[in-house]
Structure 1
Amino acid sequence: MVDVLALVEARLRTALGEPDARAAVTFLGTDRIEVLRFTEGDIVRYATLGMSAQPMADPTSALADPVKGPRAELVLSVRAGLADTDKVLRPLAVLAASPQVEGLVVAPGASLDLGEPLWPGAPFASVLVAEPGGLVEDLELDAPLDPVRFLPLLPMTSNEAAWKRVRGAAELEERWLTRGTDLRDPLRKSVALD
């Protein structure tokens, strides 16, 4: 059997360079999730490693397929030095463990809510899962395994999360774009939603 996590880590290193820190978190009844930190200039990227070890299963199916099904890892990018964003390691691991714990299939357009700030003092307690492929290309695996997708996470304020629930992910992303919102600013305020 192919070592999916070794291939995932190699893809992350190819795309983002060498990690300058890593932490591991294990939750009761789940596989170990690591979070790697990559620093490039004034941008810090946090990437999960472990979420893709098992395919995500449709919560409505009676049996989880141990081979087929979507696989993903999460990537969060923020500006360095503005907030204590290294405290995001555990919350990211919680999000990455959600397919195993809650039976979620994490896909673009989804909201993931932590119920607490992503890091101390963060104005964000949830994230929007964005489309993959821009920063880290999908990792193709041998059939019948699905490719591993590297899903960017975009932090949302509580107002943005509520607006997204009503109007949808595409409209929120359009609002961010038209207002020139710096989604990597760890201290940013909510975009105007009027």
Structure 2
Amino acid sequence: MDRVRAHLREHFDAEPDSASVTFLGTETIDVLRFRSGGLVHYASLGCSRHPMLDPTEMVTEGLRGPRAEVVLSLRDPGPVTGLARSLAVLAATPAVEGVVLVAEALIDLGSPLWAGAPFTAVLLGASDIPELPLEPPRDPVRFLTATPITATEAAWVRLKGADAMRQAWANDGVDVLDPNRPAAQPK
């Protein structure tokens, strides 16, 4: 995890604040907070500790398989009580529920991502953070963006897909980094 932390520090060119979250039966997930140019980036650290595997696989060797960390960015969010825990829950889903985190995936946590937020789910996407190569045969660590979305937007993603949701945001001029943004009303 030290290499992943160093990779993120290098990308954001900053030293992060850190919080640790532990769930019964799982290893600790850290949530790193980087401030950069009016944005706050929250990054999981611990999701990539082990490869994400399909829970129906009968035999696994424990080295190969996709690895990922999740980064949620917000424009000057102010207090976001509970966001670190929500991001840790998201990062723990591969270990707890056998979910493989990939771009275009919709992960619905079923409760606000932070106190008072209308967002209950995230839409994962590709990140501008370069992959972190690991020693073979391990797959590299990929970094996925997590865009907060409302229940209405999550329903739209289930119905029409991630690309249609992103197009609706573009059409409506929605700033998905704004923690106070209204839900998109896709047509």
- Cα distance, 1:60 vs. partner? 2.1
Q: In structure 1, what is the equivalent of residue 93 of structure 2? A: 98
Does the 8 Å CA contact 2:21/2:88 hold for their aligned counterparts?
A: yes
Asked whether 1:110 is paired with 2:105, we answer yes
Q: How far did residue 83 of structure 1 move?
A: 4.3
Deviation at 1:33, TM superposition (A): 0.4
Percent of aligned pairs with the same residue? 46
Q: Number of paired residues?
A: 187
- Note the alpha carbon deviations across 1:129-164, whole angstroms, 9 max, x for none: 0113x1x11111121110100000011111110010
User: Paired residue for 2:166?
Assistant: 173
Structure 2 residue corresponding to 1:186, chosen from 179, 182, 187: 179
1:124 aligns with 2:86: no
| TM-score, with structure 1 as normaliser | 0.92
Gaps (5+ residues) in structure 2?
none
- The correspondence of residues 7-156 of structure 1 with structure 2, limited to 5 A, is 7-80=3-76, 82-132=77-127, 134=128, 136-156=129-149
Alpha-carbon distance in structure 2 between the residues aligned to 1:94 and 1:186: 19
Give the 3 Å change call, closer, same or farther, for CA 187–103 of structure 1 in structure 2: same
| TM score, norm. by length of structure 2 | 0.95
RMSD: 1.2
Uncovered stretches (5+) of structure 1, i.e. residues with no partner: none
Shift of 1:87: 2.7
Does the 8 Å CA contact 1:57/1:65 hold for their aligned counterparts?
no
